[in-house]
Structure 1
């Protein structure tokens, strides 16, 4: 009997959609797709730093909330599962996913080729480039990378993610300060202990609303193009196919836009 056949599980259907025909059934020693294990366990393990408004944020002793939280909760529901949030850091987000501490990683994750060497990404659900945020009185001073990269400018950044990579790659003359808490990094600018932080435009827009005195600088014209996606275990083609299709249908139905409007407007 052939070891190749069509099979009716969601994992098989998703993989067949990718391959355009019959999918290969798991054989002895082959790890099952998370598409099936999540349904069986009724639990979706979700890694997130939980410090990034408006995507995923957790106050002390409170549930996670934000764009990705609402979307992932609905996504898990489509599999008959509930999300279980695994708190991590930006530096450990990818290692934790690779170590199978979670099934998916979310929370405002930028799609990068470095991350994609070790993980899959979902189809991007938002274009969200790098944008400076500064005191509103200083907006005119920090219009470009060159204008920011001056010896007198105090650039602050959070460790372990694309914000740190952007800062280190683009600012060679400015005074650089690493700040370990993304939640309080904006207060450092308000308190005049730093001048500029470069982050994704959605976060810059959110924080200017939450922190009077701070202004996102040209968020409609980011300093660098960027996309947001969900990070997925590498080589689980069936799971990625299902995630991508779910995101596509969420966008097409308007459900995703309603979530975006709730948090961005």
Structure 2
């Protein structure tokens, strides 16, 4: 499932290349055809991301004027040449040169302002957004008996944070993923938030997740670059059984919250 930085990049590209233009909106697959017909010929006023939720606000005089997209596990929104039409496209937004093609989303709905606001109200604090307030999280984490590895995956707490950022941030800070939230110090809570803000901003900028510090890059360590579908240089994610870059201990893997968790049992001893 794409993490929050991906959704923010999509919103930025829609704002950069599709606002202020009369657009052709269709649903080649047919499952969004009625809604697409309402939007066809209109303009995007603004697109924004909140965690893993993408909202595309059209300038039509209709109660339902916001396209609400959640990519889920297999969905994708790709920017492709207008003449490039392939696959099961749920929603296609074409500016005449480039088309934003949505395939396989968990959902794609046309919603009202009130419905959008209700979704946002249930979302947690998004480390990428300037209006995020970690102080809203602090008391909730401080009284929770759930592990921090579980809490970081809760989209009602940390919006946009996914499996990779969970594993990487905890490793970088030397915090066990099994530590209960109510055993974190204020300093550790602050460090987790600050690290997420920094790492996820890099993800938006680069379009991939890079978490290793300068001294642990392939060039600095004389090791081969990581080869993985997700790209980017990481410490523990999908490195089960491989030696930790810091201490040499094999990275461990275990399912937590339905997702594979990776950590170093030495650097992150509980």
Normalising by structure 1, we get a TM-score of: 0.25
Structure ranking higher on relative contact order (CA contacts 8 Å, 6+ apart): 1
Structure 1 or 2: more helix by fraction: 1
